[in-house]
A = this chain, B = another copy of it.
Amino acid sequence: MSNLMDAIGMIYAIFHEHAGPDKKLNKAEVVKLVRKELGKGDSGKAAESFFKTMDDDKDGFVDFNEFTTFVAASCILLNESLRSSQP
């Protein structure tokens, strides 16, 4: 499988690994995902801010589209930080 299909498959698998049967992430599931995948969110405050950032429509859950938007924003942040550090 190509790298891009790998990446897309990973994003899909990570979300559904943590979301469970209701296919949405509640706050506790976001905390677990962020801790495992990003090694962050140990403090309640960090977890809270990740959840607020992801839960775009403020319905108390993060659905797949909101998660994908978060991942896309993370890609853009990575790109900008790496570009600004280049000569």
- Give A contacts to B, CB under 8 Å: 2-15, 23, 36-39, 64-65, 68-69, 71-72, 74-76, 78-79, 82-83
Chain B residues in 8 Å Cβ range of A12: 75, 78-79, 82
Would you call the interface of chain A mostly helix, strand, loop, or mixed? helix
Option from B14, B37, B75, B83 in Cβ contact (under 8 Å) with A68: B75
| A79 CB contact (under 8 Å) in B6, B64, B79 | B64
Q: A11 vs B5: C-alpha distance in the bound complex, in angstroms?
A: 10
B6 touches A10 (CB 8 A): yes
B68 to A2, Cβ gap below 8 A? no
Residue in B8, B14, B71 whose CB lies within 8 Å of A78: B8
